[in-house]
Structures are given as structure tokens and as C-alpha cells.
Amino acid sequence: MLYSGFVRLLMRLALDEIPILRNMRGCLYSFGMASCGSNFQPSSDVILWGLEHMRFGRNVYLGPGVVIICLDRLHVGRNVLLGPHVVVSNGNHVFRDGMYRVGENETSPIHIGDGSWVGANSTIVAGVRIGKGALIGANSVVTKDVADYEIVGGVPAKVIGKRVV
């Protein structure tokens, strides 16, 4: 988390519309990650916690305001787009004795398949697997697995179509 904060501070003034600066930011983040492909482009105000658990394929774009809280494995495939203000969290607070516990977490890995697009303001929760080429509509909350090429949307996200390949 300290390293991630350092990268955010260092690159805070870099303009997002300049791809070379997003690439530089991605390169800096990649040093703390489990693995990261080429052309990783995070916008300047993304928040990435738990870099050591993250695996990103090549050609991944993280829009402005994306928040990733990674307490367990996270795999993001190649050619994936996360729109503005997407939240990805693979941890949940523990509920015991009628209360939620701060500092105690249940975790489960998340997988986002190659060529997927997660629309703006969507949330991906712990344990979800999003298939290859899937499309998550804006403002959705994904609580269950999404099959390859499915289009889902809503709260909670439900299948609304299938992409033709």
C-alpha cells in the first residue's frame, strides 16, 4: 500500500489524456505486482491496494477513479477495460455476534477474462469470475459469475444478452 501511494503521489500531476504518461504510471505500478503485461494504463487517480496479489495481462486500461482492494488473488486478462469509478474488492468484513468486524476479512479471488469491459460505476465483489469478452453494464453490481460473452447489468447484475462473436 505504501508503494502504491508513492506512485499515486509521484504521478498525480500527469495528464491522463497522454497515453505515454499512463504507460509510465503502469510501469511504476508493475514493479509491486505479482505480474503485469505490457501497455498497462491506469489513470492518475486510481487506488490499488494489495499490488502483490494482482496479475494483469497486456493492454489493460483502468479509468479515472477505479478502486481495487486486493486481499486475495486478482487476475485481469488481456485487452480489458475498467470504466470510470469501477470498484473491485475481493474481501468482505466478517459478520459475527450480530456485528461486522473491522480488520477481520473473508477473501476470495476474482478473475476478469480477456477482452471484457466493465462499465462505469460498477462493482465486482469477492469470488466472482467474469468470462472472456463479457460486458458489464454501467452501474451494475456483479455478485455471481458471468459466462463468456454475456452482457449483464443491474443491481444485482442479471443476464440481459449475449455478444455475437
Where in the sequence numbering do the catalytic residues fall? Answer: 93
CB 120, CB 154: distance < 8 Å: no
Q: 110: closest CA among 66, 154, 64, 56?
A: 56
Q: 65: closest CA among 9, 144, 121, 113?
A: 121
Question: What's the start-to-end Cα distance of the chain, in Å?
Answer: 39
Distance CA 133, CA 112 (A): 9
CB 122, CB 137: distance < 8 Å: yes
